[in-house]
Structure 1
Amino acid sequence: MKKAEMGRFSISPDEDSSSYSSNSDFNYSYPTKQAALKSHYADVDPENQNFLLESNVGKKKYETDFHPGTTSFGMSVFNLSNAIVGSGILGLSYAMANTGIALFIILLTFVSIFSLYSVHLLLKTANEGGSLLYEQLGHKAFGMVGKLTASGSITMQNIGAMSSYLFIVKYELPLVIQALMNIEDTNGLWYLNGDYLVLLVSLVLILPLSLLRNLGYLGYTSGLSLLCMMFFLIVVIFKKFQIPCPAEIAFLVNETVNGSLAQPAAFVGFNRTESDSCQPRYFIFNSQTVYAVPILTFSFVCHPAILPIYEELKGRSRRRMMNVSKISFFAMFLMYLLAALFGYLTFYEHVESELLHTYSSVMETDILLLIVRLAVLMAVTLTVPVVIFPIRSSITHLLCASKEFSWWRHSVITVSILVFTNLLVIFVPNIRDIFGFIGASAAAMLIFILPSAFYIKLVKKESMKSVQKIGAMFFLLSGIVVMTGSMALIVLDWVHNAPGGGH
């Protein structure tokens, strides 16, 4: 589940929930979430908030106290790690299966380094630009166009996150119900249809929670989401040593007489050929390889959460925040690498675009996988309302900033967001397409293009011929290449390949 998608943050019990801006339509007792959502209320100019106090003019800008931070270094690392990890982890094995181990590690390394570099640009721009609000930096740099671009990219990323969460409900909830009810024949049963279940969960659980004016206990889904992903990783590693090679399963099925061995659903009809042999491949290029970089960029987007976490950091300084970022990115690099590697080494080229669903092909009644599914389903279901809040807040601010709160408007916007997201989940055939499109567009904007563009525009003390500005310019150009190239290749894949059968 994701994060920058909204940012899932831990709880600081000593924070006064009333400290949140009165302009919001909800209050928080979770400071980092509070700060994260402040970026969607960028109507208050930082100059009017005394971000740079006159008494501190002689100090470096990043040493200026806007709010004294209350979050410790360790908790900030946890918050940022939580903001990074998300539903994208479920697609990493699929990326590795279509790039090979060596190429995947190269791409993972570059994307993580580039993401960390963009954090450096963003922090420096915030210090020089005098704002800890992402949209406000866009406004300072490029006026209303910059503000709308930043807000639109964050909103698009959040909608992608919501869609990926609901895709997990669509994929996994039917399997959980089937296992709990011990149903073998699923034909014609509406309550095992993923499309119906997504609509039902959205209507019965997500909509009532999303209509609340404050998040309340939903802040606890922060830690729950990260714990679920860690549990998922442990199970992926454990199952590697328990599940036989798919090719060997297919061979045994074909050789078994009188059906004495149960035939796994996903591997029906496979022959034991060279292509199905259980040998890892290190470099792979095929039509699905184009999704690797977008899936990775989608998995590393946390940039809307960087400035709020920076604002809440105790003893705030740019160097201290960069140390938080380095530790968090390295931890997530290892977690992503392990999840992708062991998932790939379990199923090889038979990995589906959502890894957890792949296990149902061979272990439909496994109790450990059932527990993982239940935990992930609970986490994503409770996280969707958290993600809706900043989207609704941003839309409300852009369209009705000067108007009083209205339950009618609040409800219409909430329902509209949910309806749009449900239509995406029902009619887009594959979660891979969500990862790919959002990763190539909004994620590329948030990682590559916007931080470098803001840096070039707002950091005045460095000339355009300086190493720093030249580096930012190359970073901007590389982001444009990544975005346009990935989008073009993905669209070509959509045109030349018929939509998959669902996974």
Structure 2
Amino acid sequence: MATRYQPLEQHDTTSSVSSFPTSSVTNVDSNGWLDDHRPLLSRSSAPSSLYQSETSVEDGDHHHHSHATATPMSCAVNLANTILGTGMLAMPSAVASVGIIPGVFVILFSAAASAAGLYFLSRCAARTEGRHASFFAISKLTWPRIAVLFDLAIAIKCFGVAISYLIIIGDLMPQVVASFSHHGQTVEILLDRRFWITVFMVIAVLPLSFLRKLDSLKYTSLVALIAVIYLCTIVIYHYISPNYPPPPPEDIELVHFSTKFFSHLPVFVFAFTCHQNIFAVYNELKDNSQLAVSKVIATSIGTSAFIYEAIAILGYLSFGKNVRGNIIMEYPPSMFVAGGRLAIVVLVVFSYPLQAHPCRASLDKVLAWRTPEARGLKVPPPPSACKYFAMTTAILIFSYLIAITVSQLDLVLAFVGSTGSTTISFILPGLFYYKIHENDPWKPGKIGAVALAVYGVLVMSVCLTFNILRLMA
């Protein structure tokens, strides 16, 4: 008995998986494809690449060796580590654009919207065969031609995050050096942000980014956890310490509405983006029932929202409406603060390759789309050594040039959030869920999916416009 997916475009109201007698499946080529280019989704005959999405770190070279042994707690921690990152540093500035009360609600709303996107993706994952869910597999069940748009969105998001990492290195290392110098006496070049970006790019980022396997970086989650705890400690300590007076009362606004909010809204969206990893959670969780996956989503999103709220509110109350886009740059030099800055630098140095890897894989698919060698194939062939080197070099060079030119972290996160993050978090989950349930009655889930996709399109259109105007001003 061989099985294959029934294309949803035929508007069949039956299950998306149908069974056919073996005699009815003819002209199957050596790669496991039917003669009409539909995949024969039998695990024994289909190519393993069909079940993988090369656009996420978890779906990399060792995906086919993975087993469903993950616990809910480990999955929640990994998902939370994906969420908590550079968005923490820009959150107080984002809250300052609307005031404390609206800021609290926007964080909660962004968390809820992100959780909804994760929920819809997990429901879509249940429609795939076995534990081989991926954006690629779902796109082939819904709109096959949208796969290239997904890869483009992933490439944009990962490239933007990689740039933000380099900007953080350039922002923090001069302050670390100043903290360790005596009486402010230090070589001037050591206070140049471009110098430190170049140094870390050459000695660490460049060699790590060319690795095809990222096994050596699997312990960075521990470094990420330490950096998150350290940052929270710095923010809380400087808020409660009597040695650091609060800003004037007029600098603290409960409510503040201006067009500046629309340029900061993508920061809230970016902060909760972890959707490229939800399929790894579904595939690796021991009990991947909808209830178990939903608990993982709720735990990771809830914990992250609590941490974001604490950093955003306390950071804003500590420095007022003029707080900078990178909160840790606001604190006066000390060994305590320098240690936190250095921890974040180490974190982003080892995290850059984790963004370059999926960015390169997505870029490869975008470049291979509709090329003669990839025509008729559902998955393009692996890149040649020359193409692999060229793509990696291009990612490194362009991210480096942008990082030494742009110093506004919140601006970079705003552009990433209004394009790649919005697409991954809202638009694609809503569209996928709607397409799978296209012939079902209009129940709350289907209505919510459409609303989420529409919300994503509005956020992308409005916020991208405001950020372009902000850049041109």
- TM-score under structure 2 length normalisation: 0.80
- Distance in 2 (CA, whole Å) between partners of 1:410 and 1:124 is 34
- Per the alignment, residue 41 of structure 2 pairs with none
- Per the alignment, residue 378 of structure 1 pairs with 346
Contact 1:35–1:308 (CA<8 Å) still a contact in 2? no
Deviation of 1:411 after TM superposition, in Å, equals: 2.6
Contact 1:38–1:133 (CA<8 Å) still a contact in 2? no
Q: How many corresponding residue pairs?
A: 412
- Per the alignment, residue 435 of structure 1 pairs with 413
Cα deviation code 1:444-490 (max 9, x no counterpart):
11111110011111235623x33322222222212211111111222
- Per the alignment, residue 478 of structure 1 pairs with 455
- 1:487 equivalent in alignment to 2:472: no
Deviation of 1:34 after TM superposition, in Å, equals: 9.6
Which secondary structure does the structure 2 equivalent of 1:132 belong to?
Answer: coil
Going from structure 1 to structure 2, the CA distance change for 1:232 and 1:392 (only over 3 Å counts) comes to same
- Distance in 2 (CA, whole Å) between partners of 1:106 and 1:234 is 24
Deviation of 1:168 after TM superposition, in Å, equals: 0.7
Alignment of 1:186-225 (within 5 A): 189-225=188-224
Alignment of 1:165-180 (within 5 A): 165-180=165-180
- Distance in 2 (CA, whole Å) between partners of 1:230 and 1:71 is 24
Deviation of 1:316 after TM superposition, in Å, equals: 1.4
Alignment of 1:65-464 (within 5 A): 69-130=68-129, 132-144=133-145, 146-182=146-182, 184=184, 189-242=188-241, 243-245=243-245, 247=247, 276-277=248-249, 280-359=252-331, 363-364=332-333, 366-399=334-367, 406-460=384-438, 462-463=440-441
Going from structure 1 to structure 2, the CA distance change for 1:393 and 1:491 (only over 3 Å counts) comes to closer
1:456 maps to amino acid = Y
Identity %: 24
1:277 maps to amino acid = P
Cα deviation code 1:310-333 (max 9, x no counterpart):
111011111110011111111111
- Distance in 1 (CA, whole Å) between partners of 2:364 and 2:55 is 18
Contact 1:40–1:393 (CA<8 Å) still a contact in 2? no
- Distance in 2 (CA, whole Å) between partners of 1:34 and 1:153 is 14
Contact 1:174–1:193 (CA<8 Å) still a contact in 2? yes
1:88 maps to amino acid = G
Deviation of 1:98 after TM superposition, in Å, equals: 1.7
Deviation of 1:237 after TM superposition, in Å, equals: 0.4
Contact 1:287–1:493 (CA<8 Å) still a contact in 2? no
- Distance in 1 (CA, whole Å) between partners of 2:339 and 2:78 is 25
- For structure 1, list consecutive stretches of 5 or more residues without a partner in the other structure: 1-20, 25-31, 50-65, 248-275, 497-503
2:157 maps to amino acid = Q
1:178 maps to amino acid = A
- Distance in 2 (CA, whole Å) between partners of 1:449 and 1:194 is 36
1:298 maps to amino acid = F
Going from structure 1 to structure 2, the CA distance change for 1:201 and 1:155 (only over 3 Å counts) comes to same
Which secondary structure does the structure 2 equivalent of 1:128 belong to?
Answer: coil
Cα deviation code 1:325-372 (max 9, x no counterpart):
11111111110000111111111123100001111xxx22x1110110
- Distance in 2 (CA, whole Å) between partners of 1:176 and 1:429 is 17
Deviation of 1:67 after TM superposition, in Å, equals: 7.6
Contact 2:72–2:296 (CA<8 Å) still a contact in 1? yes
Contact 1:136–1:147 (CA<8 Å) still a contact in 2? no
Contact 1:101–1:282 (CA<8 Å) still a contact in 2? yes
Going from structure 1 to structure 2, the CA distance change for 1:403 and 1:80 (only over 3 Å counts) comes to closer
- TM-score under structure 1 length normalisation: 0.76
1:375 maps to amino acid = A
Cα deviation code 1:37-93 (max 9, x no counterpart):
36578xx9xxxx9xxxxxxxxxxxxxxxx9861101111111111121111110001
Contact 1:99–1:292 (CA<8 Å) still a contact in 2? no
- Per the alignment, residue 5 of structure 1 pairs with none
Contact 2:117–2:429 (CA<8 Å) still a contact in 1? yes
